[in-house]
A and B are shown apart, each in its own frame.
Chain A
Amino acid sequence: MVHEWVTQGYCIGFNTDRGLIMDLDNMKYRKAKRIADMLLRRHRLEGYLLIRSSHKNYHAVFNRYLRWKTITKILFSQYECIRYAVFQMKEGMLTLRVSSKNGKDRPKILLTVGKTDKLISEYLEAYRIAEEHEKEMSMRKLKREEGLGEWLGREGGEEL
């Protein structure tokens, strides 16, 4: 799978340099879960959130706050994440999408394991913000369409 541009509108992303978040692309749920479980045990990350961004693409957010050095070390230790890690290092921050993109749905939270009080709570806050923002925007779009429909109806009525 190649990197996908944001070709429709804009996207909202959760941005952090305090903890570990991962993009697990091109893998099944079982493999994503296995990687998350393994990292949780190996680095004592307190808890994780497994999220499905699209078919066969997952995100993982770990609860513990870490130093940037540790984050890079863990990211580059995972073969599956190297591409993601390289791109994120260029930015100097780790980012995960929390809104919909190019007509695809918003990421869906599948699994919560362990504690959720630190980085996970921050992620969930951003997730809710994006959700509310999207609701707001879709409502506005609906209203605009309704208004346009009414206006067109009136125009048609006058003609008849």
Chain B
Amino acid sequence: MLRKKQLKIYGTRRRGHREHWTVKGKGVYREVRRDKYGKFISTKKWSPKKPIGKEIFTETEPLIVQYETGKEALSKVRETVREWEWIDFEAES
């Protein structure tokens, strides 16, 4: 059997909604805490590895694309990239 070749797509991608999030300045993501009335309490810096809530979280696990031919790979990469919303952020370190 022909062994499939692999490509890895990696980065930080988002799942769920951004309702509990705000973007301050250029590409800086911060978590916003509000009380039950919706009044602002505080903000804190966000790490891409940290889950935000039960429904909202980010993923950093790489995606593996298996392929045999170049054309197949290109279409698979295109599909995989489109499926996700890739986010920009400011690294803490």
Interface residues of A, Cβ cutoff 8 Å to B? 2, 4-16, 18, 91, 93, 95, 122, 125-126, 128-129, 132-133, 136
Q: How far is the CB of A74 from chain B (nearest CB, A)?
A: 21
With the chains together, A12 CA to B6 CA distance in Å?
Answer: 11
Q: Which residue of A lies closest to B66 (CB)?
A: A15
Q: How far is the CB of B88 from chain A (nearest CB, A)?
A: 5
With the chains together, A50 CA to B3 CA distance in Å?
Answer: 25
Tally the A-B contacts, defined by beta carbons under 8 Å. 70
Across the interface, do B88 and A133 meet the contact criterion of CB distance under 8 Å? no
Contact count band on B:
20 to 34
Contacts known (A2-B93, A5-B91, A10-B81); A133 close to B8, Cβ less than 8 A: no
Chain A residues, Cβ within 8 Å of B90: 7
Contacts known (A5-B91, A7-B89, A129-B73); A136 close to B9, Cβ less than 8 A: no
Chain A residues, Cβ within 8 Å of B70: 125, 128-129
Write the B22-45 contact mask toward A (1 if CB under 8 angstroms, else 0).
Answer: 000001000000000000000000
Across the interface, do A6 and B5 meet the contact criterion of CB distance under 8 Å? no
Across the interface, do B8 and A6 meet the contact criterion of CB distance under 8 Å? no
**19 more A-B contacts (CB under 8 A) besides A7-B27, A129-B77?**
A5-B91, A7-B12, A7-B89, A7-B91, A9-B11, A9-B88, A10-B10, A11-B9, A11-B11, A12-B8, A12-B77, A13-B9, A13-B10, A14-B8, A93-B6, A125-B5, A125-B73, A129-B74, A133-B74
Across the interface, do B78 and A136 meet the contact criterion of CB distance under 8 Å? yes
